[in-house]
Amino acid sequence: MFPFSFEWIWDAGHMVFHGGLWYALNIIGIGITYCIIKAAVDTIKGKGSHDHH
Amino acid sequence: MDSALIPKGVKRCPLWQFLLGLGIVGVVLAWGVYAMLLCWFKGLNQTNMNDYYGFALWIWADLAVIAVGGGAFFSGLLKYIIGKDELKYIINYAVLIGFICYSSALLILAIDIGQPLRGWFIFWHANVHSMLTEVAFCLSCYFSVLTIEYIPLILENRQIDRVPFFHNLSHNMHETMAVFAATGAFLSFFHQGSLGGVAGVLFGRPFSFREGLLIWPWTFFLFTWSAAAYGPCFTLLITWITEKVTRKKLVKDNVVELLAKISGWMIFTYTIAKIFDTTRWANITAPGLGQTLADFYTGTAMYGYWILFAEIVLGGLVPAIILISAPLRKNPVWRVTAIILAVMGVSLNRWVMVLQVMAVPVMPFDKWALYYPSWQEVATTILPVAYGIILIMISYRYLPIFPQEAELNPIDDEPAVVAEINTPADLEPAQA
């Protein structure tokens, strides 16, 4: 639910619950986006040898 | 035939044997899928749930797999945040087991809600006063985290890893895994706790009601604690079963013993807290709500005092003492006995907190309400077990789940295997 949804109320319950949800989703989304973009950049730079881990 | 997909330096059973195993477990899976389709197309009248049992076998299975799947978040916390680096040899398997447990939990919920097409309502039309809303939020998010933790393992398949982009993606995901592990620990703390909170806030049911801290009843903290304590035992149990099935040593003893020791101390502290909680509840909370301990444990043989003893002593103190004691922990027989008792103990705790809660009469004119699941409920509860076995079989065969396997099980014909996988047909990932 977003703040512009008709059911939204600006109270502590909505802010804490949905704030927590969007906080977690943002960390997950930003983290995975970073990994994908960096992998694409690394691939363009020619990295990809089997010398890691 | 599929040797090009098998990790380097390890040996697997012939393909026909693998497919035969998949086929046998697949029959059980098909039985569960049939029952699941019955529940979806004909409705929840396929179950034996009634006005007493709105929560039944499925919710017990849900809570149990979520508790034992807690090994993933706690092992991740220990390795990535606290720095127990030895656990890197078992963390892959902990993640896989966690992934299976949480996907199973979501599958069971998808059946249990009766109208899976409306599953998204809990996100969009969220009731922010409900513990279950928090569970739904955190469960879904944490499943995303587990998927992110499982993807690098898939990308490390020897054919997929040849694609530079996937190789780099896997590498980058490993590099940032601490962020996901910390997020997973945060999400797990709240959804494990809220599952306990659901029972603890039921003020109309003195059997489960507890006081607490602010809005959180003590069961909130006990559930999180128990998941962190018992989850690693389940990881160790499945590892042990896998070793027996494959007849191989897959993880070194020092890794197993470290995780068993940490789990033992966690179970010990949890059990002490649980004893304090039970004592206070039996002497103050329940009498204050008009019921006594005898009301909960003398009405029917199924829920006698034995169940309290089995949960706290056999499933708590006994495995804790075995796992804490170094001589006992180092003995495989004692260790496995403790691990099995621990997994049974936490499963029994979830059973009591879901089903005994519903069974205990709360009105003077009420009777004990016992419940027997329908075959459709049993089949759909076994379904995730079959799914889990299949996913473990496929992952074990094609992914480098156990980093120590090659070292612990050296093979003599490695040059022949290498020669075989270097044939031109094996260089094409799409065919692989």
Contacts A50 to B, Cβ<8 Å: 161, 167
Kindly tell me the burial class for residue B414, based on how many C-beta atoms sit within 10 Å of its own C-beta (0-12, 13-18, 19 or more): middle
Provide, as residue numbers in chain B, all residues whose Cβ is less than 8 Å from the Cβ of A42: 164, 168, 171-172
CA distance B398 to B381: 27
Q: Is the pLDDT of residue A16 over 70?
A: yes
Report, as an integer, the average pLDDT of A43-51: 77
Which residues from chain B sit within 8 angstroms of residue A40, using beta carbons?
Answer: 165
Alpha-carbon span B209 to B200, nearest angstrom: 4
Q: In this predicted structure, what is the pLDDT of residue B414?
A: 53
Look at residue B423 and tell me if it is in a domain: no
Provide the residue range defining the domain that includes B256: 3-412
Which residue of A10, A23, A32 is the best one to mutate when testing the B interface, meaning the one whose CB has the most B CBs within 10 A? A32
Best B128, B153, B176 residue to mutate vs chain A (most A CBs within 10 Å): B128
pLDDT at residue A50, rounded to an integer: 56
Nearest CA of chain B to the CA of A30: how many Å? Answer: 11
Q: Cβ–Cβ of B168/A50 closer than 8 Å?
A: no
For the stretch A26-46, pLDDT in tens is: 999 999 999 999 999 999 998
Mutate to test the interface with A, among B143, B148, B157, B168 (most CBs of A within 10 A): B168
| A21 DSSP assignment | H
On whether residue B163 sits in a domain, the answer given is yes
Number of domains, chain B: 1
Which one has a higher pLDDT value, B302 or A49? B302
> What are the structure tokens assigned to B229, written together?
């304590």
Q: Which of A11, A13, A43 sits opposite B168 (nearest CB)?
A: A43
Answer whether residue B289 is part of any domain: yes
pLDDT at B432: 31
| Tens-digit pLDDT string for chain B (432 aa) | 788 999 999 999 999 999 999 999 999 999 999 999 999 999 999 999 999 998 889 999 999 999 999 999 999 999 999 999 999 999 999 999 999 999 999 999 999 988 888 889 988 888 888 888 888 999 999 999 999 999 999 999 999 999 999 999 999 999 999 999 999 988 988 899 999 999 999 999 999 999 999 889 999 999 999 999 999 999 999 999 999 999 999 999 999 999 999 999 999 999 999 999 999 999 999 999 999 999 999 989 999 999 999 999 999 999 999 999 999 999 999 999 999 999 999 999 999 999 999 999 998 899 999 989 999 999 999 999 999 999 999 999 999 999 999 999 998 765 554 444 444 444 433 333
Chain A residues contacting B via beta carbons under 8 Å:
1, 5, 7, 11, 13-14, 16-18, 20-21, 24-25, 27-28, 31-32, 34-36, 38-40, 42-43, 47-48, 50, 52-53
Token duo for residue B53: 């049992």
**Number of residue pairs across A and B with CB atoms under 8 Å?**
80
In a domain, B431, yes or no: no
Residue B429 lies in a domain: no
Ramachandran class of B305: left when φ > 0, alpha when ψ lies in -120 to 50, beta otherwise: alpha
Interface test with A, best of B138, B172, B180, B421 (most A CBs within 10 A): B172
Q: Helix crossing, B164-175 with A12-44: angle to 10°? A: 140
Residue B424 falls within a domain, yes or no? Answer: no
Check residue B159 and give its pLDDT: 93
pLDDT value for B423: 45
pLDDT at B431: 36
The verdict on a CB contact (< 8 Å) between B141 and A28 is yes
In this structure, is residue B430 part of a structural domain? Answer: no
Distance to chain A for B86, nearest Cα, Å:
15
CATH number at residue B61: 1.20.1630.10
Separation CA B16–CA B59 (nearest Å): 37
From the list A16, A20, A35, the residue facing B176 with the nearest CB is A35
The verdict on residue B432 lying in a domain is: no
The pLDDT score that the predictor gives to residue B413 is 62
Taking an 8 Å cut-off on Cβ atoms, the answer to whether A28 and B183 are in contact is yes
Residues in contact with B149: Cβ distance below 8 Å, sequence separation at least 6, in sequence order:
B72, B76, B95, B98, B99, B177, B180, B181, B184
